[in-house]
Chain A
């Protein structure tokens, strides 16, 4: 019970940190930040969780397999989204040319393909940063 205050504060703050990370990812097309910065914030919330509650608890929430899959498919997602252009007969990574609605500038849904790519990149960055942290913590020296 020594870290009572820390644990209580973390349990209140961390969900919001995580949600803020997703907010930054989703607003990547319209505001400063973006999927990389947002992904780091999401990853940070998990890293903070594991420093407060112990790495085993975080491992239980995020099994290794989930990390490997999100890491691989987050990047693959970028490529798959790029293929959308090719399927529509436009070049690789085409956005408006591929007939995707790019919306009104300044609104949340306004990047076309960029928002979708951003989600993949954000998740990938988050899982990479978590994997890096886990690897460093569990490395035998």
Chain B
């Protein structure tokens, strides 16, 4: 039994959430059962992910390759669960588990009837499965399919609320994300035309041989991938859909969308840039410079736009744009420190931003007030929620002992090693701006006089979710051990291909 699980682990971590997603609609009328199933599935999933991570760690980062259906690459679809995949799946499963805890007994208010809630859970699990697939797949067309699954489930989650604004945001997202999908598809097509392979390893081998024969096609492929994944991951000029979509979705959906969905596309981009094109081509086509420019622009623009927002969830959504900028910038640093910093930052941002969105959701549903000024004095009425929000904010700003600091520190070291000074300044300026837009929320919540209104404290499972996530922010900051090790291995592995 154990060997069966060990042998098939890379596929189990992908299909486990999908399996549960498919049986949920049949129990739609019994919400307790649905929620219980989702939590059990997520628990099993995180156990599988932790086991996978421990195997990868014990093998010193040597990936487990898995040929679906027994068809070996380049003919069949190959899964490759290396340190990158293990790290990302672990964080997806962890955040999903906590989000499903938070969503317990809490969704009917925002989403509606039991059937709608059940469908919402289906979408969460589908998205989780798709993201896990992105983390382990080694096949370009598979990437496209998973990107589509993830995009469509995100659209469903954005429109989950019965609200005209939610429908509008979901429609904008659908149009722009479909545009992104088409571009990604085009990029994959270009690679396939010149290499004749869809498997990443074989495609990159062939690409190294033939790229000089058709340099313009490679150029097109690069730009299609950058713009396509750029739309989906919301880098600066292409971010227009994100604030609406992430701020109108229900709180658990915002947490998953901001914390995980955006990261899935970034992981895909990272794998395509480093595992298919490789460093030499990236330098040849100055993709690195584009990433630096776009990344720094995104950090500054996202932070400044976040400062101008009055609504708490919109402010957090713009902050997501800024943090994507950090990760994008990290991808441009072709050295172990920078890449592992970007990956660790990705992990810590997933935890931090889901905490922030969940806490914000709890505060907003308690006061019925979306504006920051409406949260005056709430820190005394909802101590745990606001404490979790504070811890996560400090993490996002990058105070030492919180997880954001380590990611930013490695990004700084990496950019110093790459000899670029301006991005280093931008990283620090971004942190200052981050403090400027998050600390006022905490000040309002703790130090403004409390108006005499009834505030509904969140339930026990919501509190547990917030406490665990906030604890994770601190633990990742103090003992980043295995996560940093996985990120390091992943960075080393990505840099193998020249």
Contact yes or no, B15 A94, CB < 8 A: no
Q: Are A71 and B18 also in contact (CB < 8 A) when A86-B8, A91-B68 are?
A: no
Cα separation A71 to B28 with both chains bound (whole Å): 13
Residue of B nearest to A76 (CB): B22
13 A–B contact pairs at CB < 8 A?
A68-B28, A69-B26, A72-B23, A72-B24, A73-B26, A79-B15, A79-B22, A86-B4, A91-B67, A91-B68, A91-B69, A92-B8, A92-B68
Q: Closest 6 CB pairs between A and B?
A: A97-B70, A93-B69, A76-B22, A92-B11, A94-B70, A75-B22
Residues from chain B with a CB closer than 8 A to the CB of A45 are none
Known A91-B66, A91-B68, A93-B68; judge A76-B8 contact (CB<8 A): no
Assess whether A85 is interfacial by the CB under 8 Å rule. yes
Q: In the assembled complex, which residues on chain B have CB atoms less than 8 Å from the CB atom of A92? A: 8, 11, 15, 66, 68-69
B280 to chain A, nearest CB (A): 34
- Residues 61-86 of A, flagged 1 when their CB comes within 8 A of B and 0 if not, give 00000001101110110010010011
Q: Which residue of A lies closest to B118 (CB)?
A: A68
Contact, CB under 8 Å: B23 / A85: no
Whether a CB of chain A sits under 8 angstroms from the CB of B19 is yes
The answer on a CB contact under 8 Å between B69 and A85 is yes
Is residue B25 within 8 Å, beta carbon to beta carbon, of the partner chain? Answer: yes
A86 surroundings in chain B (CB, below 8 A): 4, 8
Interface residues on chain A, number (Cβ under 8 Å): 19
If the complex has contacts A82-B15, A92-B8, are A72 and B25 also in contact, measured as CB distance less than 8 A? yes
Task: Tell whether A79 pairs with B18 under 8 Å between CB atoms, given A72-B25, A92-B8.
Answer: yes
How many Å from the CB of B75 to the closest CB on chain A? 13
A68 in contact with B69 (CB, 8 Å): no
Chain A: interface secondary structure?
helix
User: A95 contacts the other chain (Cβ, under 8 Å)?
Assistant: yes
In the bound assembly, the distance between CA atoms of A76 and B15 in angstroms comes to 10
How far is B23's CA from A85's CA once the two chains are assembled, in angstroms?
A: 21
Q: Does A90 contact B (CB under 8 A)?
A: yes
* A71-B25, A85-B70 known; A79 vs B11 contact (CB < 8 Å): no
Q: Which residues of B contact A (CB under 8 A)?
A: 4, 8, 11, 15, 18-19, 22-26, 28, 66-70
Q: Across the two chains, which residue of chain B brings its CB closest to A91?
A: B70
Note all chain A residues with C-beta closer than 8 A to B8. Answer: 86, 91-92
A97 to B68: give the CA distance in the assembly, Å.
Answer: 11
Residues in B with CB closer than 8 Å to A90 are 70
Give the distance in Å from the alpha carbon of A118 to the alpha carbon of B26 in the complex: 22
Task: Contacts A72-B25, A93-B69 known; list 17 others, CB within 8 Å.
Answer: A68-B28, A69-B26, A72-B22, A72-B23, A72-B26, A73-B23, A76-B22, A79-B19, A79-B22, A90-B70, A91-B68, A91-B70, A92-B66, A92-B68, A92-B69, A94-B70, A95-B69
In the bound complex, how far is the Cα of B153 from the Cα of A36, in angstroms? 21
Distance, CA A95 to CA B67, complexed state (A)? 13
Q: Is the CB of B70 within 8 A of A73?
A: no
> What is the bound-complex CA distance between A72 and B257, given in angstroms?
24
Q: Which residues of B contact A93 (CB under 8 A)?
A: 68-69
Residues in A with CB closer than 8 Å to B26 are: 68-69, 72-73
Contacts of A68 in B (CB 8 A): 25-26, 28
Which residue of chain B is the closest to A89 with respect to CB atoms? B4
How close is A65's CB to chain B, nearest CB, in angstroms? 8
Closest beta carbon of chain A to B80's beta carbon, Å: 14
B11 / chain A contacts, CB cutoff of 8 Å: 91-92
Closest to B18 in A: A79
What chain B residues lie within 8 Å of A71 (beta carbons)?
Answer: 25
Instruction: Say how far A60's CB is from chain B's closest CB, in angstroms.
Output: 21
Cβ distance A78 to chain B, nearest Cβ, rounded Å = 9
How far, in angstroms, from A86 to B15 measured CA to CA in the complex?
13
Chain A residue, CB-CB nearest to B20 = A76
Q: How far is the CA of A41 from the CA of B26 in the complex (A)?
A: 25
Most central of B4, B66, B68 by chain A CB within 10 Å: B68
CA A29 – CA B339 in complex, angstroms? 46
Contacts of B15 in A (CB 8 A): 79, 82, 92
Instruction: Report the bound CA distance from A73 to B22 in whole Å.
Output: 7
In the bound complex, CA of A92 to CA of B66 (Å): 9
Alpha-carbon separation in the docked complex, A89 to B15 (Å)? 17
A94 to B23, CA, bound (A): 23
Contacts of A75 in B (CB 8 A): 22
Q: Looking at the assembled complex, report how far the CB atom of A138 sits from the nearest CB atom of chain B, in whole angstroms.
A: 14
Closest residue of B by beta carbon distance from A92: B11
